[in-house]
Amino acid sequence: MPILSNAKKALRVSQRKTLANRRVKAQLKTALDQAKAKPSAEALSAAFSRIDKSVKNHLLHRNKAARLKSQLAKSLAA
């Protein structure tokens, strides 16, 4: 456990951010799974939205996001 007061605050902040990031990642994974299971325009749009929000919050690298979006678009075309 942290001893210094600034370390205690950093731990609290870290825990809050971890919960928020976990929630966003879970929503992203759900959207991706739905888009892969049933490729449709609506599912693809929802997945793209979640991917973009993850990039904005620095949870995904922009190149990985582009790769995911490309793979999803290919699955819809096929």
Domain tally for the chain?
A: 1
Determine what percent of the chain is predicted with pLDDT higher than 90. Answer: 92
Q: What is the mean pLDDT of residues 19-35?
A: 95
Task: Give the helix/strand (H/E) hosting 54.
Answer: helix 41-56
Which domain covers residue 45, as residue numbers? 41-78
User: Does any domain span residue 65?
Assistant: yes
pLDDT at 78: 78
**At which residue do the structure tokens 């999803």 appear?**
72
Q: What is the DSSP letter of 58?
A: T
Sign of the CA dihedral 6, 8, 12, 18? positive
- pTM (2 d.p.): 0.83
Q: Is the pLDDT of residue 1 over 90?
A: no
Q: What is the mean pLDDT of residues 45-72?
A: 96
Q: Is the pLDDT of residue 26 over 90?
A: yes
User: Does any domain span residue 6?
Assistant: no
